[in-house]
Structure 1
Amino acid sequence: MLILGAMLQNSIGFGLGLLCAPIFMHFAPELVPATMILNSLFVTSLVCYKNKASIQLCNFSFATFGGVIGIFAAGATAAFVAPEIYRLIFGVIILSAVALSVKGFNFKIKPSSSILAGAASGFMGTLTSAGGAPMGLLYQNSQQKLIKANLNAFFVIINLLGLISLYIANLVTMQDFVNSLYCIPALIIGWYAAAWVKFNDKSNRLKNFILSITAFAGVSILFS
């Protein structure tokens, strides 16, 4: 599963957390969220460095600002709201956004939408280690190189801040770091396997794939 997730992250710009975290919640809960955030930090750093020339600093900055807000909101939510409640809310929101996209609604990349998508991704990523869906929906109509660069630059910062917030809350242990080291070989295999996956910016394959992965994440969050 980690191989496939890393392959998605390197080929379309996101997918590692969305694919793996819901499954690990059921079968290996000790890997969520801290170990999966460490795994995501490793892969997103590689993708970000590879595509750094396509980072749009303005949109990235607004998204990161929103992400910081989302991380703080996640800390407050974890303290006062039952997990099944916020998972229900975000699962419904994600699936509603997917439905709007299928119907032809376009999410335009601008400061306000970048802040909102960043906040939602920071919130979800900190609580579930699967925060790619909102940012993926925002960039669904962008060129592949822009998706990879801007989403993964955002994820590097958000993963770092999310990890720090979890550490402050005593939710990160040395075992999480050990577990992440065991995952690295699978992540590297998936990274190189992405060379076999190609998308044409002029076709709808990439957008449809993004919507499919996002819908899977929404359903998984609802039933995790």
Structure 2
Amino acid sequence: MEFVQFLVIGVVVLGSACLQGSIGFGLGMITAPVLALLRPDLLPAALLFLATLTSLTAFVRERHDVDWRIVGWGALGRVPGIAIGTVAVIMLPDAGLSLMLAITVLAGAAFSLVGWSPAASHRNMFFASSVSGIFGTATSIGGPPISLVLRSLDPSSMRSTMSAYFTLGSILSLSGLAIGGEVQTSHVIAAAALLPFMITGLWLSNFVIRRADRQLLYRLAVGASIFGALLVIAEAVRSALG
């Protein structure tokens, strides 16, 4: 990875991790489009490694109110989704995966703005997790359908259950990709190199969350996600026409 390229990606990871720690999302939705533009070969595994550590950090901090039955149904639902997502990574070219990623980001942004909140039932969690497994494995972005279902829980239980689910779900997705031969040494090295940026961003979130307007941060994260996704689509169109 060239130094300037690495620095750009690192700064994006730092900023998106800060947003993740402040409002609960941002790392995947913002960083994935940047990686799709600069280093598509690192997706999805390198970002999934970082996402696993982020979710684990949140889980250790807020593990007391986890609804383990919902997490269990989510884990069951994620398995078939992981299989489909892994096949997509194996079969689709980089351009196809980049477009899939951009569409996932735009759909995720739309989900985040929807006021509808289905009940956090076992059935809803199973189906939402299947969708999350497909896109979380193929693009590293599987949060929106789960956030939609868990939105009806009280805030403490929602944060705890979500962090537990995404820790387990990311590990399962990485396992599926490894079985499919889609986890390389370069992914591990890239994730390790970017880890200090992510840790710094999460640390900064402790200060940002006390001082910044959460609604402003939320709009910033959604806007940055949409902008990145549109850039990915524009680049894919340019490549197809050029």
Given that residues 45 and 152 in structure 1 are in contact (C-alpha distance below 8 angstroms), is that contact kept between their aligned partners in structure 2?
Answer: yes
Give the percent of matched residue pairs that are identical in Structure 1 and Structure 2.
Answer: 22
Write the letter of the residue equivalent to 1:187: M
| SS of match in other structure, 1:198 | helix
Distance 2:27 2:102 in 1: 21
Partner of 1:170 in structure 2?
Answer: 181
Q: Which has the larger radius of gyration?
A: 2
Question: Do structure 1's residue 153 and structure 2's residue 164 form an aligned pair?
Answer: yes
Partner of 2:72 in structure 1?
Answer: 61
Partner of 1:10 in structure 2?
Answer: 21
| TM-score (norm: length of structure 1) | 0.80
Write the letter of the residue equivalent to 2:229: S
Task: Note the 1:24-43 alignment, pairs <5 A.
Answer: 24-43=35-54
2:82 to 71, 74, 89: 71
**In structure 2, do the counterparts of structure 1 residues 13 and 88 end up closer, same or farther at CA, with 3 Å as the change threshold?**
closer
The superposition leaves residues 17-73 of structure 1 with CA deviations (integer Å, 9 ceiling, x where unpaired) of 111111210122232111111111111111111110021112222222222221112
1:121 to 128, 132, 148: 132
How far 1:192 sits from its partner (Å)? 0.8
The superposition leaves residues 170-205 of structure 1 with CA deviations (integer Å, 9 ceiling, x where unpaired) of 211112111111111101101111112438xxx994
Partner of 2:3 in structure 1?
Answer: none
How far 1:128 sits from its partner (Å)? 0.7
Partner of 1:109 in structure 2?
Answer: 120
**In structure 2, do the counterparts of structure 1 residues 217 and 159 end up closer, same or farther at CA, with 3 Å as the change threshold?**
farther
Write the letter of the residue equivalent to 1:19: I
Question: Do structure 1's residue 131 and structure 2's residue 142 form an aligned pair?
Answer: yes
**In structure 2, do the counterparts of structure 1 residues 180 and 218 end up closer, same or farther at CA, with 3 Å as the change threshold?**
same
The superposition leaves residues 102-142 of structure 1 with CA deviations (integer Å, 9 ceiling, x where unpaired) of xx433322112211221121111110112212222333454
Given that residues 106 and 225 in structure 2 are in contact (C-alpha distance below 8 angstroms), is that contact kept between their aligned partners in structure 1?
Answer: no
Partner of 2:197 in structure 1?
Answer: 186
Unmatched segments (≥5 aa) in structure 2: 1-11, 237-242
Q: Which stretch of the first structure deviates more once superposed, 122-131 or 209-218? A: 209-218
Given that residues 105 and 225 in structure 2 are in contact (C-alpha distance below 8 angstroms), is that contact kept between their aligned partners in structure 1?
Answer: no
Partner of 1:216 in structure 2?
Answer: 225
| SS of match in other structure, 2:118 | coil
**In structure 2, do the counterparts of structure 1 residues 177 and 10 end up closer, same or farther at CA, with 3 Å as the change threshold?**
same
Given that residues 39 and 180 in structure 1 are in contact (C-alpha distance below 8 angstroms), is that contact kept between their aligned partners in structure 2?
Answer: yes
Distance 2:227 2:72 in 1: 26
| TM-score (norm: length of structure 2) | 0.74
Count of residues in Structure 1 that have an aligned counterpart in Structure 2: 217
Distance 2:142 2:128 in 1: 10
Given that residues 30 and 224 in structure 2 are in contact (C-alpha distance below 8 angstroms), is that contact kept between their aligned partners in structure 1?
Answer: no
Distance 2:221 2:60 in 1: 26
Given that residues 13 and 152 in structure 1 are in contact (C-alpha distance below 8 angstroms), is that contact kept between their aligned partners in structure 2?
Answer: no
